Structure 1
Amino acid sequence: MNRNNQYSTLVEAIENLVRRGYTHNYRVNQYGQLEESKTVHYLPSEVELHEFHRFEGETNPSDMSIVYAVKTKSGNKGTVVDSYGVDGSEVTSKFMNNIEQRQFDD
């Protein structure tokens, strides 16, 4: 089952993901690690990608964002929000391309 790209807005996607247990807020730091806080980091081998959703801005099509739903080796689930396209973070994109892709598993 493909769960990707099924929401109209970023807010709708995040609200639904939170209801489904993706409650942690992550970012990818400059060292290419998933970061929850200054002391909690995960390498790509310690993270699974469960789904992602892309959005274009209503007034500006170049205002594009993507939310990734991930699960860490500790069992915590959360989201990473990033721009994509020209403004996207290369570090985040590279990290997501190097983690285990589980979005098509049931």
Structure 2
Amino acid sequence: MEGHNMKPLSLVYNILAKRGITKEITMNDQDQMVLAVDEKIYQPEDLCIVRSYRFEGDSNPDDNCVLYLLEDKEGQLSTLLDSYGAESNYSGEAFDDFLRKVPIQEKDEYNLD
């Protein structure tokens, strides 16, 4: 995973948006990973993590998060934000279990350093 202590999360989102990456994957109430507004439901094998951006809060360790850049089998790119610490986005094990099953093939073209 890349450490991006010099770039804030908002800047990374802006850089990705300029590259046309604007859709986000989230976990719904049924523990399904969905693209945008129920556009597509994914299984772990449908996705690949092509880059991970880690952010650490300067003043509060609970402000830590990882932004995953994901590519699906059709080549569509999207993001998935995972806050951890006291302000975690997702409770329970379903999110972590899903993420552990997603293959990782980091691509240098998405390195923002």
User: What residue is the counterpart of 2:98 in the other structure?
Assistant: 95
User: What residue is the counterpart of 1:15 in the other structure?
Assistant: 14
- Partners of 2:58 and 2:85 in 1: CA distance: 16
User: What residue is the counterpart of 2:3 in the other structure?
Assistant: 5
Aligned residues: 104
- Partners of 1:104 and 1:38 in 2: CA distance: 27
User: What residue is the counterpart of 2:70 in the other structure?
Assistant: 70
- Partners of 1:64 and 1:48 in 2: CA distance: 22
Q: Per-residue CA shift, 1:16-73, capped at 9, x if unaligned?
A: 2222332211112344432012252010010010111121223312221111100112
* TM-score for both structures, normalised by structure 2: 0.73
Unpaired segments of 5 or more residues in structure 2? none
> Once superposed, which parts of structure 1, at least 4 consecutive aligned residues long, lie more than 4 Å away?
none
1:43 aligns with 2:46: no
Letter in 1 for 2:100: N
Moved more, 39-48 or 87-96: 87-96
**Which fold has the larger relative contact order, with Cα–Cα distance below 8 Å and residues 6 or more apart in sequence?**
1
Name the % identity. 26
Partner of 1:101, secondary structure, is coil
Cα 1:95/1:86, change in 2 over 3 Å: farther
